[in-house]
Structure 1
Amino acid sequence: MDLALLRTFVTVHRAGSFTRAAALLGLSQPAVTSQIRALERQLGRPLFLRQARGVTPTTIGDELAHKAAPHLDALVEIAGTGLDDESSLRTLHLAGPPEFTAERALPALVALTGDAGPGFALRASFGNAEEVLEGLAAGHHDLALSTARPRGPLLTATPLCDEEHVLVAAPHWAERIGPGSPRRMGASALENLPVVEVHESLPFVSRYWASVFDARPAAAGTVVVPDLRAVLTCAVTGAGIAVLPRYLCAAALERGEIVALYEPAVPPLRTYFLVARAGTLAMPHIARAHTWLQRAAADWC
């Protein structure tokens, strides 16, 4: 049986689509279709059911993928190990949200790529969860950091860490509402305060309000900036209240530039996942980065 046909088959099985598999393999969609048909002729059985959106494996297709995929991944690992020497610098492409990637992941990986590191170059790009997962599925990235867990066999997700969210504001806003007001009065204590957010839909404030106050925020965003680091800067300068990840605002809290308006017994959390395409963790440079980020994340929680 032709290994090239098996490789194409496993890629289609994981991608759930001839079109997406073609992009991952660097082939045309007709070429992928032709290879799958050739493999089906060799086996005398259909491997996929064609549907309006993608393909679904048949029983025999699932059985073949289960048997073949580990061996193909092992071959990829052997090939990658053979190339992974001092004369061959591999490049790791990482994608994720700008703040978490810049403040957490990149410092950890830059330390890994130093003089004592494994010898891979690093490229990073930023985007929201949908963008980075689509880019990963299309083969543009090697690893992605996402707050959404992907579905399907193409992408594999590992929980990385939980991010605690804190309701903060400059000290004069805390004085205005009075100490302990949110605990006693709930969301009504905050109704007339300006809000700083990353989007008009108030994703962080809305999530916090729903989790802590079982309510929806009454105010619209007064200042909207598409970066949590800018939200922090605006909060420090007194633009309004904001909900921020604790890791991002911990130093400002310690310096007294902002204060936590409320410390609920169970703070809102958001989980980050480290995501890779199925089979690619057999490649040594991706596997090392994946392991290193997991180790570093033990200190982020």
Structure 2
Amino acid sequence: MRKMINENFIGACREFLQPEQIMLNAPMSEHTTFQIGGPADCLIKPANLEETQKILQLVQEYELPLTFVGNGSNMLVSDKGIRGVVVNFADTISSIAVDGTKMTVGAGALLKDVAEAAAQHSLAGMEFACGIPGSIGGAVFMNAGAYGGETKNVVKAVKAVTRAGEIKTYSLEELELGYRHSIFQTNGEAIVEVELELVPGSEAEIRAGIADFTQRRESKQPLEMPSAGSTFKRPEGYFAGTLIDQTGLKGLSVGGAQVSTKHAGFVVNKGGATAADVLNLIREVQKRVKEAHGVELQPEVRLIGEK
């Protein structure tokens, strides 16, 4: 049975939020890079730290389910949608401030914008993230990485809001950053601000690095089609895309979901794909790769929403 949002909660939110910040029955297909997903009961876009605190306090007071979303990459939302409250930091809390080699970045800032700001200030270290289709908050949440770089290599501290609405600051050591893992995957807190420590460099060399990574990404990845990024985690000693390709699965489709013909490590939405299509395709790929190579692929994409 679908759980409807509490009207008193909505009324309390309307006391300090603008109407456009609160969306009821918001289709998550419009808020994810996969362009898949049923409606969220209530999607809220806080504009600052204080609003985030108030929202989380109300969510706790009314005992509502809570989900955090950044740019909506690296996630697959179920066809039934998400019950309760979705707090969306995309394009709201996204300021970028530079002070020497330190960057203070709002959780909703896109990685490509952070990499560009670093380049403008001749700061090296963010080049690896230039093409990752996510926010800095999402990058911390998953410890995103690419081309030999990792989020944990540039993060100095993270400011978060607890479920009780309290502000908490984590040092790098406290973040438990590992392969596609952080403490936020278990503590349920909201990442609101990230402090980065970069190193001085040559702007020309930094931009050359960004151009190189961009060219490699554009030539190899299916950026022209909706996806959630890399679908599977890298199995130890292997590359997921290579295993899938060697199993002859490029182009394999279930409904509107397809193993990319450009890069087998990506499942793409070729048009009208449902979450069920994607899940069934993922299971089929896992089954066939296990049969062919004895390797169990694990999804890197987060599966969220009502089952």
- Normalised to the residue count of structure 1, the TM-score between the two structures is 0.22
Report which of the two has the higher share of helix: 1
| Relative contact order, higher structure (CA 8 A, sep 6+) | 1
Greater C-alpha Rg: 1
